Amino acid sequence: MIDLKRQATEIVERYPEGRSRSALLPLLHRAQERDGYLSEDAMVEVASILKLTTAEVRSVATFYSMYHLKPKGRHVISVCHNIACSLKGAEQLIDGIEKHLGIVPGETTSDGVFTLERVECLAFCDRAPMLQVDYDTMHGPVHAHSVETLLSRLEPEPDQFDMFAPEFLPEDS
CB nearer to other proteins: give 39 or 86.
86
Q: Which stretch binds other proteins (CB under 8 A): 2-10, 69-77, 150-158, 163-171?
A: 163-171
> Beta partners for 118?
79
- Applying CB under 8 A, among 15, 71, 145, 172 the residue interacting with other proteins is 15
Q: Taking Cα atoms as reference points, which of 118, 143, 113 lies closest to residue 128? A: 143
Q: Considering CB under 8 A, how many residues would be counted as binding other proteins? A: 55
Q: Is 43 in the site for other proteins (CB under 8 A)?
A: no
Give the separation between CA 155 and CA 134, rounded to whole angstroms: 12
- Applying CB under 8 A, among 81, 108, 115, 147 the residue interacting with other proteins is 81
Number of other residues whose CB lies within 10 A of the CB of residue 132: 20
Q: Which stretch binds other proteins (CB under 8 A): 1-9, 19-27, 69-77, 149-157?
A: 19-27
Q: Taking Cα atoms as reference points, which of 14, 71, 76 lies closest to residue 37? A: 71
Q: Is 148 in the site for other proteins (CB under 8 A)?
A: no
CB nearer to other proteins: give 167 or 172.
167
Q: Rounded to the nearest whole angstrom, what is the least distance from the CB of residue 108 to other proteins in the complex?
A: 14
Q: Taking Cα atoms as reference points, which of 152, 153, 142 lies closest to residue 92? A: 142
**Rounded to the nearest 5 degrees, what angle is found at the Cα of 36, between the Cα atoms of 145 and 169?**
105
Q: Rounded to the nearest whole angstrom, what is the least distance from the CB of residue 133 to ligand FES in the complex?
A: 14
Exposed (0-12), middle (13-18) or buried (19+): which is 97, by Cβ within 10 Å? Answer: buried
Instruction: Please list, in sequence order, all residues whose beta carbon lies within 8 angstroms of the beta carbon of residue 80, skipping any fewer than 6 positions away.
Output: 90, 118, 119, 120, 121, 122, 124, 128, 129, 130, 131, 132
- Applying CB under 8 A, among 2, 21, 39, 44 the residue interacting with other proteins is 21
Q: Contact positions toward other proteins, by CB under 8 A?
A: 14-16, 19, 21-26, 28-29, 50, 59-60, 63-67, 81-84, 86-87, 89, 91-92, 94-95, 98-99, 104-105, 118-128, 132, 135-138, 165-168
